Amino acid sequence: MTLAINDLKRHNQPLETALQAAMARVLDRGYYILGPECTAFEHEFSSFLGTSWAVGVGNGTDALELALRALGVQSGNYVATVANAGMYAGTAIRAVGAVPCYVDVLPGSLLIDPSALSRVLDSSQVRALVVTHLYGRMVDMAAILEVTRAYGVPVIEDCAQAHGASRLGRRAGSWGDLATFSFYPTKNLGALGDGGMVVGGDESLHARLLSLRQYGWVAKYKSDYRGGRNSRLDEIQAAVLRAKLPFLDGWNARRRQIVRRYRAELDGLGWGLPPYPDEADVVHLCVLEVERRAAVQAALVDQGVGCDVHYPIPDHRQLAYTDGVNITLPVTEAACTRVLTLPCFPEMLDAEVDLVVQACSRAVQSLRGKL
């Protein structure tokens, strides 16, 4: 059997009783959309993050799109973001008719480069920035805000992979003008289906998002806001997420333990290892950089170790969205040829970590023997 990079069955089984009880509450109540479970989870999650409010929506991509609309981003506007994060921000930007304006990333962390951002803001009339906390690694938001405030550019934090990360005592999601979350099942805080959230502190944005998630209504059947849609976090998923939230910090701590072992025991293989995970990194994915990636991946799979690539094609090289874009992002483009994801999930056993370490060592030895 192959060890997967994540195992949702093992993740959810210990919570089976609590999850069944949460879903039973919803069934017994007979209230399925925008009810007390959603309201309670919005309050509990905003309290966890340290934000003033939270608005549950259908999924993480909707969260990004509605956040952009709430900030007034319109067709033809430029929105800055990175190109190495799976095209999710780019998809939302294009959905509102705006144009992605890509920024290169820092070597090592693969997070947005503040200096590159400054150059982009100097050369383009950027209406907003979507800053992605990639792989669970939280961006240095103080450095980013120092840049964006000088240009008056509002910031949306994309926290889809960073539930619970913190810097300087502040959680990811509590820094930007708005922040978005996905609760897709594989996330550090995952539902049993799709779900998303927009959080923030400005009450006028709160009111606008409450309206945008339900057809742009300000009252039943009275729509004042363009761009509204049906995008609501349902009661079942909200109840499930409420049951899981108290465990999030503990799950993140176990993820960090696993990556610290990888760093210690894979040192010397010649690979680019993940940064040392502190409180700013919740290790949503354990991503390394390797040469001869396809050969390494095949060697690991042959030994029963699953791996994946997050993400192989930068956004500005996607055939569907090139649109005549002619830019070069050297760090992004190089990293996309080397990134490789190893197994890492809270229920992973120490013996399974040993298996991965041994498989990686044998893979390197095997490839060296073929040179």
Q: Would you say residue 371 has pLDDT above 60?
A: no
Work out the pLDDT band at 325, boundaries 50, 70, 90. Answer: low
> Which of 234, 216, 233 is closest to 225 using CA atoms?
216
Q: 96 and 179 share a domain? A: yes
Q: Which two tokens stand for residue 241?
A: 């997420």
Domain boundary among 246, 267, 300: 246
Torsion angle of the four alpha carbons 139, 145, 150, 152, in this order, in degrees rounded to the nearest 10: 110
Q: 168 and 288 share a domain? A: no
Whether 2 is in a domain gets the answer no
Q: 190 and 304 share a domain? A: no
Beta bridge partners of 234: 33
CATH number at residue 171: 3.40.640.10
Check residue 323 and give its pLDDT.
Answer: 65
Torsion angle of the four alpha carbons 47, 235, 133, 308, in this order, in degrees rounded to the nearest 10: 140
Query: Span 168-187, mean pLDDT?
Result: 98
- pLDDT higher at 191 or 1: 191
Q: 163 and 298 share a domain? A: no
Distance in angstroms (rounded) separating the CA atoms of residues 371 and 364:
11
Q: What are phi and psi of 55, to 5 degrees?
A: -125, 115
Check residue 326 and give its pLDDT.
Answer: 73
Whether 3 is in a domain gets the answer no
Q: 154 and 41 share a domain? A: yes
Q: 57 and 42 share a domain? A: yes
Whether 1 is in a domain gets the answer no
The residue whose two tokens read 């044998």 is 362
> Which of 241, 234, 239 is closest to 190 using CA atoms?
241
Pairing of strands 196-200, 178-182: antiparallel
pLDDT tens sequence across 265-285: 999 999 999 999 999 999 999
Whether 364 is in a domain gets the answer yes
Number of domains in the chain: 2
pLDDT tens sequence across 15-64: 999 999 999 999 999 999 999 999 999 999 999 999 999 999 999 999 99
Domain boundary among 246, 268, 287: 246
Distance in angstroms (rounded) separating the CA atoms of residues 64 and 171:
18
Q: 12 and 76 share a domain? A: yes
Work out the pLDDT band at 332, boundaries 50, 70, 90. Answer: very high
Q: 346 and 242 share a domain? A: no
> Which of 363, 369, 365 is closest to 305 using CA atoms?
363
The percentage of the chain sitting over the pLDDT mark of 90, rounded to a whole number, equals: 95
Q: 327 and 341 share a domain? A: yes
Residues of the domain holding 168: 8-246
Torsion angle of the four alpha carbons 320, 325, 327, 330, in this order, in degrees rounded to the nearest 10: 0
Query: Span 330-350, mean pLDDT?
Result: 98
Q: Would you say residue 220 has pLDDT above 70?
A: yes
Q: What is the DSSP letter of 139?
A: P
The percentage of the chain sitting over the pLDDT mark of 70, rounded to a whole number, equals: 99
Whether 269 is in a domain gets the answer yes
pLDDT tens sequence across 87-124: 999 999 999 999 999 999 999 999 999 999 999 999 99
pLDDT tens sequence across 180-190: 999 999 999 99
CATH number at residue 327: 3.90.1150.10
Q: 186 and 93 share a domain? A: yes
Beta bridge partners of 33: 234
Domain boundary among 230, 246, 262: 246
Whether 61 is in a domain gets the answer yes
Check residue 324 and give its pLDDT.
Answer: 56
Cβ-based neighbours of 25, under 8 Å, separated by 6 or more:
37, 239
Distance in angstroms (rounded) separating the CA atoms of residues 121 and 141:
16
What mean pLDDT is reported for the chain? 97
Tell me the CA end-to-end span of the chain in Å, nearest whole number.
29
> Which of 335, 192, 344 is closest to 281 using CA atoms?
344
Beta strands in 275-321 (DSSP E): 286-289
Q: 270 and 208 share a domain? A: no
> Which of 73, 174, 183, 171 is closest to 128 using CA atoms?
73
Whether 72 is in a domain gets the answer yes
Whether 151 is in a domain gets the answer yes
Q: 232 and 348 share a domain? A: no
